[in-house]
């Protein structure tokens, strides 16, 4: 089995995050010659730190605290009890204590807290009963099972940590929690789309197609009938036992409605077609990104990651980079070598055809 670093996984995962189906066969990294052992500048080597307190907030302003993907903090393997150098969960607790100390009811400016899911890391079942009843069949997946195999420690360690963290803000501020794929009871590999016999870390389609299913674990902590939400005046209503929910909060003289939808909602059919909502709402952005990708290849630019998503990663000469920066906004990814840089171009639902045409002309 090929070994690969967390850095490599993050490179690949950045583009994969918007890939419709893990293991769709559309994702692979284009080979770009480099020495993996060679030292490369860090992405923040040129960062400038400014002393002093941040600028004061304008009158009437407020903050929505967002908690994305906390699963690595809660992961039972990332705690001292499992031999990890420190308790990663303490980083999560520190964040929650900071939020609790800075909510509006405590004299701060945080009016609402939104957790985006993937609260904990592991699942408790090899496969959920609903998919079993529908005739699906799972197959072993050496890579995923080794890292995310079902374990009772999601009940004894990870879920209690999550509950304790959110208890720190309970009664102090309205908040929302939705399930991500890690928060489902099971995450299994479909027998129709099994993993590759030999896994290539540069081609994540070799992981096979993963399915999540079952929400009993999530509902046990964040269900509508659980103490964190039951009877709260700001908790408007819920669906699917609390997997989808709505909250209200007031700030800056306005009353806001917040709607939180579970991960699975993106794969329901769009209202006017059989196409999953995820694909329907991302179609325009991806079409524009593919036009840009084709132009980059036609002009001889090497792709750092061969991405099928709305994000395109390309290696540019620094001289070209400087010229483009006068006309185009793009994201710095990392230095490739002394004279070249990896940048990211991203499209969206609002990207106009003429804007992509103008970028292509500048290239």
pLDDT recorded at residue 11 = 38
Give the helix/strand (H/E) hosting 284.
helix 277-298
> What residues form DSSP beta bridges with 213?
186
Give the helix/strand (H/E) hosting 188.
strand 186-190
CB proximity list for 88: less than 8 A, separation 6 or greater = 72, 73, 74, 75, 78, 79
Query: Stretch 321-343: mean pLDDT, rounded?
Result: 91
Q: Is the pLDDT confidence value at 94 over 90?
A: yes
Q: Is the pLDDT confidence value at 65 over 80?
A: yes
**Per-residue DSSP letter, 125:** B
pLDDT recorded at residue 46 = 67
Q: Is the pLDDT confidence value at 7 over 50?
A: no
Cα–Cα dist 132/77, whole Å: 29
Q: Is the pLDDT confidence value at 106 over 80?
A: yes
Burial of 152 (0-12, 13-18, 19+ CB in 10 A): exposed
pTM value is 0.69
Instruction: Report the mean per-residue pLDDT for the chain.
Output: 85
- pLDDT tens for residues 184-201? 999 999 898 898 888 777
- pLDDT tens for residues 66-83? 999 999 999 999 999 999
Query: Strands 311-317, 340-346: parallel, antiparallel or unpaired by DSSP?
Result: antiparallel
User: Domains (ranges, CATH) in the chain?
Assistant: 62-267 (no CATH), 277-362 (3.90.1150.10)
pLDDT recorded at residue 8 = 41
Query: Stretch 350-362: mean pLDDT, rounded?
Result: 94
Q: Is the pLDDT confidence value at 361 over 50?
A: yes
Tokens of 130: 């609903």
- pLDDT tens for residues 135-153? 999 999 988 888 889 999 9
Tokens of 43: 């992405």
Q: Is the pLDDT confidence value at 39 over 80?
A: no
More confident residue, 55 or 221: 221
Q: Is the pLDDT confidence value at 278 over 80?
A: no
Q: Is the pLDDT confidence value at 204 over 70?
A: no
- pLDDT tens for residues 147-175? 889 999 999 999 999 999 999 999 999 99
CB 356 within 8 A of CB 362: no
**Most distant CA pair in the chain: distance in Å?**
61
């Amino acid at each position: 089995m090929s070994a690969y670093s967390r850095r490599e996984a993050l490179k690949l995962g950045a583009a994969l995050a918007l890939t419709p189906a893990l293991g769709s066969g559309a994702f692979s990294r284009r080979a770009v010659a480099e020495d993996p052992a060679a030292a490369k500048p860090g992405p923040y080597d040129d960062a400038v730190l400014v002393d002093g307190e941040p600028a004061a907030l304008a009158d009437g302003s407020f903050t929505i605290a967002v908690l994305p993907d906390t699963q690595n903090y809660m992961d039972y393997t990332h705690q001292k009890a499992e031999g990890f150098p420190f308790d990663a969960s303490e980083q999560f607790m520190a964040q929650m204590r900071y939020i609790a100390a800075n909510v509006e009811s405590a004299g701060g400016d945080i009016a609402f807290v939104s957790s985006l899911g993937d609260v904990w890391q592991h699942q408790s079942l090899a496969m959920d009963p609903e998919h079993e009843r529908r005739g699906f069949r799972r197959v072993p997946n050496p890579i995923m099972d080794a890292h995310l195999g079902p374990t009772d420690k999601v009940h004894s360690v990870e879920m209690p940590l999550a509950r304790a963290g959110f208890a720190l803000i309970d009664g102090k501020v309205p908040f929302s929690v939705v399930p991500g794929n890690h928060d489902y009871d099971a995450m299994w590999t479909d027998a129709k789309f099994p993993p590759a016999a030999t896994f290539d870390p540069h081609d994540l389609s070799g992981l096979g197609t993963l399915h999540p299913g079952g929400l009993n674990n999530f509902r046990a902590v964040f269900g509508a009938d659980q103490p964190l939400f039951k009877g709260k005046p700001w908790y408007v209503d819920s669906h699917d036992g609390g997997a989808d929910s709505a909250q209200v909060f007031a700030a800056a003289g306005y009353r806001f409605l917040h709607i939180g939808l579970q991960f699975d909602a993106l794969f329901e059919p769009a209202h006017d077609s059989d196409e999953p909502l995820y694909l329907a709402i991302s179609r325009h952005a991806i079409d524009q990104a593919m036009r840009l990708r084709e132009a980059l290849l036609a002009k001889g630019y090497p792709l750092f990651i061969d991405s099928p998503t709305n994000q395109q990663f390309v290696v540019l000469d620094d001289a070209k980079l400087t010229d483009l920066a006068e006309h185009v906004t793009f994201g710095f990814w990392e230095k490739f070598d002394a004279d070249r840089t990896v940048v990211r171009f991203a499209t969206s639902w609002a990207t106009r055809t003429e804007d992509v045409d103008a970028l292509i002309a500048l290239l």
